[in-house]
């Protein structure tokens, strides 16, 4: 029998409902809703073509997913079809759906290695080429982790690194010049207190680039100065923090509060709940995962010393990346447990609680992020599918529009 939280039971009985009335009418209580965007759903990325074959996109794994246990909802089927996100017309539909339903910002998972960019066409051609791109702000989260060959991956095999996340200081200087010129300067680039938001995924890998915390801080300060020289007010440095590794080979930082202070980050946030919750059951209830995450949220607020922007995760099921089809059936899918009971209705309830918690802190931030727009192979997406249609987007609209 699955474990259900006290909050879930109260919701089911109609005994818990956050008070939303006056908060929504007060402009000072406006909350910025950002949403992570994972750009591996377009054809003809040069690296993917070279390693995976001509025209490969991660849609292939979505299509080939299969149920792995009783009640497992796979494959996931997109209501809009297996679209190519580098097409400005397709991205324009995404932008409209996001903006119409309460999303203010797409935070693109952004990849750049020593030998150049990766998965950049969704942003550079699709988003920035869309006629309505001014309807939505955008920002970058530098996904500076090692890129492993896990699309798909068979459990037990050698974890092959295709593109190391560590870059040279010279490459980082090049990255800084690029993002100021090509992204920060755009009128719809997301700014906090006038400063372009730039987020880093892996703080340990980031420090390895420069060899010490002091050298890393100096590189961050140089980027701030470069931004000011370009007419901006600086850079809002954000750190994605986590405790439980998700990708193979990841290692969590040992003292995040100290690193936030010494490196001079302006804020912290999270990418996905399972960085902070162990998912104790094969199908862990959505509200159980939420409660575990909220414990972390409270800890981050108390210890970080900078604003912490909370995360709402839609779900978790990475089995499409790990399925091995054998003569005996599906094998080796269970690299993590999954989240269940994450219906649009329950997603909306979690958004309501998150909003209530944000507004309860008069001096706290008015920002949250959502995982994610399109992590289809991780089972955490709000793009329409054939089961719930626009349900997850409508949930955001009901809470934040």
pLDDT more than 90, % of the chain: 80
pLDDT in tens, 201-216: 999 999 999 999 999 9
pLDDT of residue 151: 83
Task: Check whether 14 has a pLDDT greater than 60.
Answer: no
Task: Check whether 122 has a pLDDT greater than 50.
Answer: yes
Task: Check whether 11 has a pLDDT greater than 90.
Answer: no
Task: Check whether 1 has a pLDDT greater than 90.
Answer: no
Structure tokens at 240: 């994605």
How far the first Cα of the chain sits from its last, in Å, is 37
pLDDT of residue 27: 45
Structure tokens at 167: 């870059």
Q: How far is C-alpha 398 from the chain's CA centre?
A: 22
CB 108 within 8 A of CB 122: yes
pLDDT band with cut points at 50, 70 and 90 for residue 7? very low
CB 370 within 8 A of CB 382: yes
CB 140 within 8 A of CB 179: yes
Sign of CA dihedral 345, 350, 351, 353: positive
Measure the CA–CA gap between 287 and 346, rounded to whole angstroms. 8
pLDDT of residue 15: 36
Task: Check whether 19 has a pLDDT greater than 80.
Answer: no
pLDDT of residue 344: 98
Helices assigned H by DSSP within 251-343:
256-263, 286-303
pLDDT of residue 327: 75
Task: Check whether 85 has a pLDDT greater than 90.
Answer: yes
pLDDT in tens, 274-315: 999 989 999 999 999 999 999 999 999 999 999 999 999 999
Measure the CA–CA gap between 369 and 32, rounded to whole angstroms. 8
Task: Check whether 246 has a pLDDT greater than 80.
Answer: no
Measure the CA–CA gap between 41 and 59, rounded to whole angstroms. 6
pTM, to two decimals: 0.91
Higher pLDDT, 327 or 87: 87
The CA-atom distances, in angstroms, between 264 and each of 217, 223, 233 are 7, 12, 16
pLDDT of residue 245: 62
Indicate the range of 61-70, 162-171, 187-196, 210-219 predicted with least confidence: 61-70
pLDDT in tens, 346-394: 999 999 999 999 999 999 999 999 999 999 999 999 999 999 999 999 9
Average pLDDT (141-160) is: 85
pLDDT of residue 20: 31
CB 55 within 8 A of CB 42: no
CB 81 within 8 A of CB 326: no
Average pLDDT (229-255) is: 83
Measure the CA–CA gap between 44 and 50, rounded to whole angstroms. 9
Structure tokens at 58: 């991660």
Task: Check whether 8 has a pLDDT greater than 70.
Answer: no
Average pLDDT (82-102) is: 98
* H helix and E strand count, the chain: 13, 19
| Domain residue spans of the chain | 6-400
Higher pLDDT, 248 or 121: 121
Architecture of domain 6-400: Alpha-Beta Barrel (3.20)
Q: Any idea which residue has 């003809």 for tokens?
A: 44
Structure tokens at 164: 């190391």
């Amino acid at each position: 029998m699955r474990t259900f939280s006290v909050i879930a039971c109260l919701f089911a009985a109609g005994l818990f409902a956050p008070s939303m009335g006056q908060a929504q009418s007060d402009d000072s209580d406006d909350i910025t809703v950002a949403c992570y965007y994972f750009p591996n759903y377009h054809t003809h990325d040069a690296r993917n073509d070279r390693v995976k074959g001509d025209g490969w996109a991660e849609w292939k794994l979505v299509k080939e997913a299969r149920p792995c246990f009783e009640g497992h909802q796979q494959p996931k089927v997109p209501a809009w079809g297996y679209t190519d996100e580098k097409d400005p017309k397709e991205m324009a539909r995404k932008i409209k759906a996001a903006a119409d339903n309460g999303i203010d910002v797409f935070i693109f998972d952004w990849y750049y290695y020593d030998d150049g960019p990766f998965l950049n066409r969704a942003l550079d051609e699709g988003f920035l080429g869309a006629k309505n791109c001014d309807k939505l702000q955008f920002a970058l989260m530098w996904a500076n982790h090692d890129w492993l060959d896990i699309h798909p991956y068979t459990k037990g095999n050698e974890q092959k690194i295709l593109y190391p996340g560590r870059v040279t200081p010279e490459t980082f200087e090049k990255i800084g010049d690029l993002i100021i010129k090509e992204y920060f300067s755009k009128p719809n680039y997301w700014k906090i207190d006038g400063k372009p938001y730039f987020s880093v995924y892996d703080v340990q890998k980031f420090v390895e680039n420069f060899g010490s915390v002091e050298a890393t801080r100096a590189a961050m300060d140089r980027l701030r100065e470069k931004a000011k020289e370009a007419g901006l007010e600086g850079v809002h440095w954000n750190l994605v923090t986590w405790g439980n590794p998700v990708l193979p080979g990841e290692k969590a930082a040992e003292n995040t509060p100290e690193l936030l202070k010494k490196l001079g980050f302006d804020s912290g946030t999270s990418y996905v709940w399972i960085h902070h919750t162990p998912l104790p059951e094969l199908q862990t209830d959505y509200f159980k995962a939420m409660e575990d995450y909220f414990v972390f949220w409270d800890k981050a607020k108390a210890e970080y010393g900078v604003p912490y922007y909370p995360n709402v995760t839609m779900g978790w099921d990475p089995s499409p990346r790990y399925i091995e089809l054998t003569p005996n059936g599906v094998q080796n899918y269970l690299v993590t447990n999954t989240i269940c009971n994450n219906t649009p209705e329950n997603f909306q309830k979690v958004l309501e609680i998150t909003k209530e918690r944000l507004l309860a802190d008069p001096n706290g931030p008015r920002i949250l992020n959502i995982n994610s727009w399109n992590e289809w192979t991780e089972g955490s997406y709000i793009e329409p599918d054939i089961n719930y249609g626009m349900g997850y987007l409508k949930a955001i609209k009901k809470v934040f529009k």
